[in-house]
Structure 1
Amino acid sequence: MVNNELYNDLQLSILDFVHVHPGSNPIQSLKNSTEVVQLAERLGYKRYWFTEHHNTPSQISTSPDLLSLHAASHTKNIRVGSGGIMLPNHSPLKVVENFTLLEALYPGRIDLGIGRASGTDGLTALALQRSQEAVTSNDFPEQLNQLLSFFSRNFQAHHPFKKIIVPGNGSLVPDMYMLGSSQGGVQFAIDKGLGFVFAAHLAPRLAIPMLRFYRENFKPSIYMNEPKSMLAIGVITAETEEEANYLAGPVELMWARMETGSRDLTFPSLEEASKHVYTLQEEAAREYNKERFVIGSAANVAEKLKQLAKEALVDEMMIADFYPSQESRLKGHQLLAEAFDLKSN
C-alpha cells in the first residue's frame, strides 16, 4: 500500500495537445482549451502546458508560446507554458525573446519546457528548419547553451552573440524544464540545473529509472536550487471503471494503429473505437501500450498516480489529456481534482 500521508500534497498539472475531436474543428478546439484551463485554475491544478506538433490534422498545438499567451490572458494564477518548445525548430534567440515577453506580461506564471526532437516528420522538419543541414546537424547542445546564455546574459567575452541585447533584464526568466522520453534529456537537465519532465506516455518503462536518476544526480544552478521533476502520463478517469474504459477506447485504438504502422492516425470517435475489431497485431500493441495510460475510476486512478509518484520521486504529476470529448475532459479533470482534494480557487 502507498503511504498516502507522504503524497497528500501531490500536485497535478495538465498537458494539452489541443485535439480536434471527430466532428469538431480547430476554432472549437481552441475554445475548448480555454474552457479547460479556466476550469483547471478553479479546481487547483498547478500548471497547464501545451505541446508542439506539426502536420498533424487531429492536433493544432503548433505554437505553444502563442497558446500560453492566450491561456495566461484568460486566467489569473495558474502557471502556463510549453510542453514543450521543440528547440530544433526554432532560433534560441527568438525563443528567449518570446518567453521574456511572456514573463514580463505574466510574472511568475510562465514555464518553458524544452524538447530535443522536432515533434514532426522529416519533411515538415525540413520546412520548419529550412535546410537539410539543420535537420541532420544534431546541434541541440549548442542551441541549448545559446538559449541559456541569452537568458543569463553570460556569453563569453569573445562570443559574437555577446553584443545582442535581450529585452528587459535577467529577472525575466521563466522556470525551465527539459523534457525527456529517453535517456538523453535527463543528462541535460542534470548538467544545466534545470527541471525535468519525463513523458511516460511515450516511454513508460523508462520513466521511473530516469526520474530517480535525475533526482539523485541533480546539480544546482542559477535557474534552480533544487531538483524539480514531474511524470507525465495519459489519464482517463470517469465515474466508473466501465465508463473510463469506454472513454479510453479512441486513444487506445489510435496508439495501436501507430504501433502497427497504420497510415490512419486520426483521433477515432467513441463509436468507431467501440465497434472496431482489433487484429491480432493491433491487440498485441494495445496490450503493450497499457502502461502509457492510467485508466479507471477517480479513486483508483488517484491511487495509481500516488504510487507512480512515490516510485519516481516526484511531487507533481502531469496529466496528458487524451479524452475523446470536451464533456469527458471537463468531468475527468474535475473528478481527479476531487479525488486529490485539490484546493480550489
Structure 2
Amino acid sequence: MTESPSQGKLKLSILDIATIMTGRSAAETLKDSLDRIQLGDQLGYTRYWFAEHHNTENQVSTSPEIMIANAGAHTKNIRVGAGGIMLPNHSPLKVVENFLTLEAMYPKRIDLGIGRAAGTDGLTALALRRSRDAVNSYDFPEQLDETLAFFSKDFPSDHPFSQITPFPGESSMPDIYMLGSSNGGVQFAIQKGLGFVFASYLAPHLAVPMLRAYKENFKPSKFLSKPQSMMSMIVITAETDEEAQYLAGPVELFWAKLQTSGTIPTFPTLEEASRHTYSPAEESARKQNKDRFIIGGINKVAAQLERLAEQAMIDEVMLLDFYTEKDASHNAYRLLAKAFLQ
C-alpha cells in the first residue's frame, strides 16, 4: 500500500454514492460525478471513491468498477477506488481480476475498499449471489482470506486455488482498506494489516473510539507496514453558517424521513426542505441525527474537522457528497481545498 507521511495538514478525499437528485436523470448524475472528480483532481484531493448499492431507486452506484475505469480515464493524479466493494456479493477471484486490471490501467492510483454488508435487500442479494445458501451463510472471513491470497499469490501449496493465477499478473496491487461502521470491520483491518475507513455518518458515537483502537492495535503486514485510516463524514459548508444551514436542509430532511418512514425517500430539493414543517417524530430524528453531519461556514467546519481528526488519530477525511446543487458542491470543495490543500 502506498504510504505518505503526514504533512501537518489534513488530507481530503470524496466518497460518491451517486444519488439522483430531484429533477436529474441517471445520465446527468453520472456526468455530475465525473465533473466532481475532475474538480477534485485539479484541487489536490487525495482520492475519490464510488460506493456499491443495489435496488435503490435514487442511486446509480451499482458498478463501482465501471465508474472507477471511467474516472481514471478522465483524471491525472487523484486516486480512484471503491468505497466499497461489498464482498459477499462477489467472487473473490473476480474482484481481484477487476482490480488488477484497473491497476494495470492506472498504476499506483487504485484503491479497493472492502465491505462486509450486502448493500441491498435480501431478495436482491439472492439475485446477485444466485444461492439461498450463499445469502444465509456467513463466510466473509473466508472470502477476505481468498481475496488477499489471490492478490499476494500466497495460497498454501495444498490449496486448490494455488493453481490459479489472477491476470493481469504483472500488475501491482491496489491499496486495500476495510470499511466499518461498527466494531466488526476494524478487527479485520487490525488483524490483516489493512487500511481502515470508518463511516462516522452511520455510527458517529463509535467513530473516534474505533479509529483510535485501529491505530493503537494495528498489526503490520505484507500489505501495509503502518496504520492508515480515514473517517468518512457528511460535510455541508459554504462561506457563511447561514448559507451552509440552508444547503444542509435537504440532507437533514432526507435522513429524518429515512428514519421515520422506514423507506428510502426521494431526495428533497432546497425549496422543499426550506418549506417543510417537521412532524414531532421527524424533529426528534433530526435532533438525534445532528452528530451525523458537520454543517457550517468554512471556518467553523475546518476547525471541527481538525478537532475530529486529532481525536480520531487520522490525517485524512473522506467527504460524502450530499449537495443538491452542483454549484454549491463545487464551491464547497474549493473552500475546503483552500483551507487544507493549498
Q: Report the Cα distance in structure 2 between the residues aligned to 1:199 and 1:320, rounded to whole angstroms.
A: 10
Equivalent residues in 2 for 1:1-345, closer than 5 Å: 8-169=8-169, 172-340=172-340, 342-343=341-342
Q: Report the Cα distance in structure 2 between the residues aligned to 1:7 and 1:276, rounded to whole angstroms.
A: 44
Task: Spell out, residue by residue over 1:213-268, the C-alpha distance to the aligned partner (whole angstroms, 9 max, x if none).
Answer: 00000000010010000011000001111111111111111111121134352211
- Please, which moves more after superposition, 280-289 or 165-174? 165-174
Q: Report the Cα distance in structure 1 between the residues aligned to 2:8 and 2:201, rounded to whole angstroms.
A: 24
Which residue of 1 is the match for residue 3 of structure 2? none
Q: Which amino acid aligns with 1:222?
A: K
Q: Report the Cα distance in structure 1 between the residues aligned to 2:248 and 2:319, rounded to whole angstroms.
A: 14
TM-score, reference length from structure 1: 0.95
SS at match of 1:12: strand
Shift of residue 8, structure 1, vs aligned partner: 3.9
Give yes or no for contact 2:41–2:77 (8 Å, CA) kept in 1: yes
Give yes or no for contact 1:248–1:295 (8 Å, CA) kept in 2: yes
SS at match of 2:179: strand
Q: Report the Cα distance in structure 2 between the residues aligned to 1:212 and 1:152, rounded to whole angstroms.
A: 28
Q: Which runs of 5+ in 2 are unaligned?
A: 1-5
SS at match of 1:283: helix
Q: Which amino acid aligns with 2:99?
A: F
Shift of residue 168, structure 1, vs aligned partner: 3.4
Shift of residue 65, structure 1, vs aligned partner: 1.1
**Identical-residue share of aligned pairs (%):** 59
CA distance 1:264–1:217, shift in 2 (3 Å): closer
Shift of residue 185, structure 1, vs aligned partner: 0.1
Q: Report the Cα distance in structure 2 between the residues aligned to 1:32 and 1:280, rounded to whole angstroms.
A: 35
Give yes or no for contact 1:248–1:324 (8 Å, CA) kept in 2: no
Task: Spell out, residue by residue over 1:153-194, the C-alpha distance to the aligned partner (whole angstroms, 9 max, x if none).
Answer: 111111111111211337520000000000000000001000
Q: Which amino acid aligns with 2:13?
A: S
Q: Report the Cα distance in structure 2 between the residues aligned to 1:276 and 1:152, rounded to whole angstroms.
A: 53
Give yes or no for contact 2:100–2:167 (8 Å, CA) kept in 1: yes
Q: Report the Cα distance in structure 2 between the residues aligned to 1:225 and 1:8, rounded to whole angstroms.
A: 20
Task: Spell out, residue by residue over 1:308-328, the C-alpha distance to the aligned partner (whole angstroms, 9 max, x if none).
Answer: 000000010110111112111
TM-score, reference length from structure 2: 0.96
Q: Which runs of 5+ in 1 are unaligned?
A: 1-5
Q: Report the Cα distance in structure 1 between the residues aligned to 2:265 and 2:66, rounded to whole angstroms.
A: 25
Q: Report the Cα distance in structure 2 between the residues aligned to 1:317 and 1:57, rounded to whole angstroms.
A: 28
Q: Give the RMSD, CA atoms, in angstroms.
A: 1.2
Shift of residue 9, structure 1, vs aligned partner: 1.6
Which residue of 2 is the match for residue 3 of structure 1? none
Give yes or no for contact 1:153–1:170 (8 Å, CA) kept in 2: no
Shift of residue 7, structure 1, vs aligned partner: 7.6
Q: Report the Cα distance in structure 2 between the residues aligned to 1:171 and 1:263, rounded to whole angstroms.
A: 42
Q: Which amino acid aligns with 1:334?
A: R
- Please, which moves more after superposition, 168-177 or 92-101? 168-177
SS at match of 2:261: coil
SS at match of 1:260: helix
Q: Report the Cα distance in structure 1 between the residues aligned to 2:141 and 2:158, rounded to whole angstroms.
A: 19
Q: Aligned residue pairs: how many?
A: 337
